[in-house]
């Protein structure tokens, strides 16, 4: 049980360090850019996020689990995926602001249900 707790805490710390660094590698929302430029930035950030996520999962976490003898545990693997998704995506403030901006500018938005 302590091994699982240690691995989880270490994993969360690594994600809290890496995620903001990744977010600040990309520019914040610039409303002067065209929607196409913003969309390309979003795609680039998502691809980069995916690659970093893969590297952390496959190299750091697998080696940590092997070292601690936790490999092959389905519960730990599922928890790892949930933790990664919440932290890595949740801390991408530049990505979230760009997605929100484009969502409100979507050409097929006929009804504006929520006013900001």
Average pLDDT over residues 90-116: 75
Residue 1 binned pLDDT confidence (cut-offs 50, 70, 90): confident
**Is residue 113 included in any domain, yes or no?**
no
Residue 106: Cβ within 10 Å count: 9
When divided into structural domains, the chain yields a total of 1
Q: Which domain holds residue 93?
A: 39-64+71-107
Can you give the pLDDT at residue 116? Answer: 52
List pLDDT tens digits, range 3-38.
888 888 888 899 899 999 999 999 999 989 888 899
* pTM for the model: 0.76
Q: Are 94 and 36 in contact (CB under 8 A)?
A: no
């Amino acid at each position: 049980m302590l091994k699982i707790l240690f691995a989880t805490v270490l994993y969360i710390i690594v994600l809290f360090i890496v995620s903001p660094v990744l977010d600040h590698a990309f520019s914040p929302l610039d409303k002067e850019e065209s929607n196409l430029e913003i969309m390309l930035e979003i795609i680039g950030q998502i691809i980069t996020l995916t690659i970093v996520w893969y590297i952390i999962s496959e190299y750091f976490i697998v080696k940590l689990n092997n070292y601690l003898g936790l490999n092959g545990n389905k519960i730990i693997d599922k928890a790892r995926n949930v933790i990664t998704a919440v932290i890595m995506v949740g801390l991408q403030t530049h990505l979230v602001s760009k997605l929100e901006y484009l969502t409100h500018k979507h050409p097929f938005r006929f009804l504006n249900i929520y006013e900001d």
